Structure 1
Amino acid sequence: MRRLVVTENITLDGFISPMGDWFDPMVPDDELTVVNNQNSADSDALVLGRVTYEEFAGFWPHQQGPVSDYLDQVAKYVVSSSLDKADWQNTTILSGPLEEEIAALKATDGKDITVTGSTTLVRSLVPTGLVDLYRLFVYPVVQGHGIRLFEEHELRLQPVRAKAFVAGVVLLEYAYSG
């Protein structure tokens, strides 16, 4: 079974909704780039909520470089009950019950399935137990308000990896343990 990996940029105080440009590293960091490239290589599917999908689809297909190349070729799944058409190449709309759609996707052959951004979607996935790994890039910023990743759900998480980068970002990975 494939892993569902939630990858989020997050502030020290737990917010994932960006206000301004806090999610850009303060300084260039080649090691952070290598880790992000490896995470992309380990994933062949990207699940997005409608809002994030529309933001990505309006921007990334018009860019050049490794990120846009990856996003163009990766299988994209947009979770939406209102979207009836997705023009970005390799995009499928998932409009059925969330847990059933994601469980079916996890049961297919392939590499990791990544969910990024998509705060409403991610917060809906947290209590389902379908998320296998939380990959959090913690930025040295206190935002003070916004949307938090975790609400009032009790989760048991097992630390998997912690890594500090020169840019000030710290990668924390936690596996879901029930």
Structure 2
Amino acid sequence: MRRLVVTENITVDGIIAPIGDWFDPMTTDDELEAVNAQNSADSDALVLGRVTYEEFAGFWPHQQGPITDYLNRVSKYVVSGSLDKVDWQNTTILNGDLAEDIAALKALDGKDITVTGSTRLVHSLIPTGLVDLFRLFVYPLAQGRGTRLFDDAGLRLAPVRTQQFASGVVLLEYAPAVV
């Protein structure tokens, strides 16, 4: 069965909605770029909420480079009850029961399924038990306010991997702990 991997850029204080310029997807260091390239190679599906999908579709197809190449070729699934049409290649709208739709994707042959951004979607996925891995790129600052990844989640996590980058970003990977 495929893994569902939530990948987020996050501050030390747990904020995933950037205020200011602490996160720029076009800026990276070589080591971080290599890890992102490997994560992309390990994933052949991307699940996004409507807002993140619209932000991505308005920006990434007009860029160049490995992130754009990955995003253009990967199978994209946008979870939305209001969209009835999408223009970005390889995109499918999911508008049924969230847990059933994601479980069906996980049951298909393939590589990892990545979820990124999409705060409301991630908050809805956490209680389903379908998330296999939280991949957090922690930026070395405290934003002080904003949307948190684990609001009211009550979730126990088991560490899987850590890696520090020259930029000061630290990768933390956690699997939901079996209680």
Please tell me the TM-score bracket, short chain as reference: over 0.9
What CA distance in whole angstroms lies between the structure 2 residues aligned with 1:127 and 1:93?
Answer: 22
CA drift at 1:75:
0.1
Q: Which residue of 2 aligns with 1:138?
A: 138
Q: Which residue of 2 aligns with 1:23?
A: 23
Q: Secondary structure at the match of 1:31?
A: helix
TM-score computed with the length of structure 2 as normaliser: 0.96
Deviates more, 1:146-155 or 1:162-171: 146-155
Identity of aligned residues (%): 76
Distance 2:168 2:155 in 1: 27
Q: Does 1:171 align with 2:171?
A: yes
Give the partner amino acid of 1:40. S
Matches within 5 A, 1:1-178: 1-24=1-24, 28-178=28-178
Secondary structure in structure 2 of the residue aligned to 1:142: coil
In the TM superposition, residue 23 of structure 1 has moved relative to its aligned partner by: 1.6
Deviations 1:54-84 (A, max 9, x none): 0111111111111111100000000000000
Give the ranges of 4+ consecutive aligned residues of structure 1 lying more than 6 Å apart after TM superposition. Answer: none
Q: Any stretches of 5+ residues in structure 2 without a counterpart?
A: none
Partners of 1:30 and 1:64 lie apart in 2 by 17
Distance 1:22 1:3 in 2: 29
Tell me the C-alpha RMSD between the 2 structures. Answer: 1.2
For 2:150 and 2:156, the matched residues in 1 are separated by 12
Residues paired across the two proteins, number: 177
Of stretches 56-65 and 4-13 in structure 1, the one that deviates more from structure 2 is 56-65
Ranges in structure 1 where 5+ consecutive residues have no aligned partner: none
Report the TM-score when normalising by structure 1. 0.96
